[in-house]
Structure 1
């Protein structure tokens, strides 16, 4: 069955920096949405848009055709899906489960197997694009799961993003997201070092960005986060604390594969220092503060 707006009730768990915009886009597109968050106040704008509130994960799971989650940490994912009163214990057979949290490949595989044993279809589908991509529905979505399940939920995913690719079996979405985070990690070091170099050289940072952003150095991080650095805007499009979590997952997975990732290790150590100094709730562009001391 291909899902559409008439036959689908989407349960959405998580209304953080990205989740709130993603759920809003589903509502704007005409999907019926039921929401649950740990702090109901975060869901109030969605309820005002027409979302239905459900007090418990179990209650939401029992009613919805599709359940999307985007929460903080793997421990939250495990509790929501596999814990007592969780999704798999309470959802109906035939329900599609889509975890869009950046989590571990092994947990994604466990959820897939647990769901399959109950007649449910689970996919890991982490995203990239930050608050801007979530707001503009231009997210990159990296999916692990079965082809038929992916085909069924693709109309839902198309409301949230533009670059949507099935990468392989369960866990493949999370592995792909680790590739993404490894690339971003080294890039953020480069962005911040370039911007502090421009400052120390007495250059106009806006003018520098016009030149290097259009050349070989251009990247999403440079073109979207360097302007925030220039404006001293360290509000989170993506939290430092969550980036540290992601880098930890990638380092652990790399270790299991016998892979050395010194660039990733260096970047995580810099962010760990920032977090220890109280910057963990800033956006990842706050790495610039490490250099601008």
Structure 2
């Protein structure tokens, strides 16, 4: 197995002729985020001009009818607009890493958006829901910590209360570790579905868990190897160079872990589509 340094060198070599494309993709992503922020600001100014209360405090977003409606709109935008674009960007990086023409993939996705976009949405939504389900016990234990440690601090803490408080702390720590372990286990599902758009989300998660079995330490080692770039990320502007580099490094890492499972189905699908589309 290649070392972290070798994987990054391999990614840098693959990125060699695609720096311009990578930077352009990062600019597109940043422009999308900027457009969203501008839209939110304009929306705030519009409602403020009309004298309608509109803010971003949790009490307003989840405690009022209009706040809940706007939160739902944001979630739907995230699922059905942002996620398909993220899928396309990630797929372009896979093509760049594999040395293929990403324009054909882009054209294929555009012409088959009715099938690709829903799959892209579910490929993000279902793993996110699975993570939330696994994480849900932590929310209950955190509530136990808050209730017995802070809400009841003015009252005498009973033996049972102290016991529940300590159990909640221990459970939160342990289950957070379980959650991190689970997230690492299904981390390759994203690449499995990028390589095979017809793969089931659950099958991709199962295969990812199988591949990642015993490799969680390797994953954490590779992840922590990027810690030295954190100061540059805080400067923002280096992100235009670091983003393509990070994406290619993760493609290299995923290919290394997946081994023979790294089978790209898109070229054959595009070839068949080109044949019958004429």
| TM-score, structure 2 normalization | 0.28
- Structure with more relative contact order (C-alpha pairs < 8 Å, separation 6 or more): 2
Pick the structure with more helix per residue: 2
Q: Which has the larger radius of gyration?
A: 2
Pick the structure with more strand per residue: 1
